[in-house]
Amino acid sequence: MNNRRLFQPKGRGNAPSLHPMMQRANELMAIENYTGAARAFENMAKAANSHNRPAAPHLYIQAGRAKILAGQIPDGITHIQTGLKLFAERAEWLKFRRNRRRVVRELRESGHENEANELMNFMADELPADKDATGNESQFDPKPGARVRATLPVKCQECGAPLRIDEVEFVDENTAECPYCGNLIRS
């Protein structure tokens, strides 16, 4: 038996594990060090994208959110658009719409109406006409608010990322997948 294989970090191939970096980035967000968090999320996004990991779009969006909170609005919008483009390239339209809607809401709530409108119109022409508001990617993926929000922990136990009902993908009625590390979370 090869014990070495048992202790390898989760992930694909020889790509480094993002869990410790993700925990640090989330800690930086929690202590409002948005510049440091943005840098950490951006580095992870680039690494995840180069290894074609499913977390890459989420990481770009987090980097963008952190940059906006740090006052770097144009750079933040660019990162968010990069994340949304990755969702579009992967034909993950439900994730595209949900993340765009959440970021637009956050921008409006913080007084950035022009940027919110820019993102709302971003790639609107690219969305397939046959996709409705709920999409059809997963039969267990609820509309935001359809599940009781208290059924998920606040953060992923594996990587420390915040878990939002409108970002996680449910693999069955009681199990969601962390969009950042792929850890399965039972509700």
The answer to whether the CB of 23 falls within 8 A of the CB of 148 is no
Domain total of the chain: 1
Give me the pLDDT at residue 168, please.
Answer: 78
Give me the pLDDT at residue 17, please.
Answer: 53
Residue 49 CB-density burial (10 A; 0-12 exposed, 13-18 middle, 19+ buried): middle
Looking up residue 111, the CATH number of its domain turns out to be 1.25.40
Which of 26-30, 72-76, 149-153, 168-172 is predicted with the least confidence, judged by mean pLDDT? 149-153
Quick check: helix, strand or coil at residue 163?
Answer: coil
Q: For residue 155, what is the DSSP state?
A: B
Q: What is the pLDDT of residues 113-129, one digit of tens each?
A: 999 999 888 877 667 76
Measure Cα distances from 149 to 35, 100, 144, 164, 165 in Å.
Answer: 29, 20, 9, 8, 6
Task: Name beta bridge partners: 185.
Answer: 176
Any domain includes 187 = no
Any domain includes 9 = no
Any domain includes 153 = no
**What is the mean pLDDT of the segment spanning 142-159?**
63
Q: What is the pLDDT of residues 24-73, one digit of tens each?
A: 998 999 899 999 999 999 999 999 999 998 889 999 999 999 999 999 99
Q: What is the pLDDT of residues 136-147, one digit of tens each?
A: 433 334 444 444
pTM above 0.75, yes or no: no
The DSSP line for 1-24 is: --HHHHTSPSSSTTPPP-HHHHHH
If one compares 157 and 15, the residue with the highest pLDDT of the two is 157
Any domain includes 10 = no
Give me the pLDDT at residue 129, please.
Answer: 62
Any domain includes 106 = yes
In one letter, which amino acid is 60?
Y
Any domain includes 13 = no
Structural domain including 48 reads 18-130
In one letter, which amino acid is 107?
L
Any domain includes 149 = no
Any domain includes 111 = yes
Which of 3-12, 18-27, 66-75 is predicted with the least confidence, judged by mean pLDDT? 3-12
Confidence of residue 95 (pLDDT cuts 50, 70, 90): confident
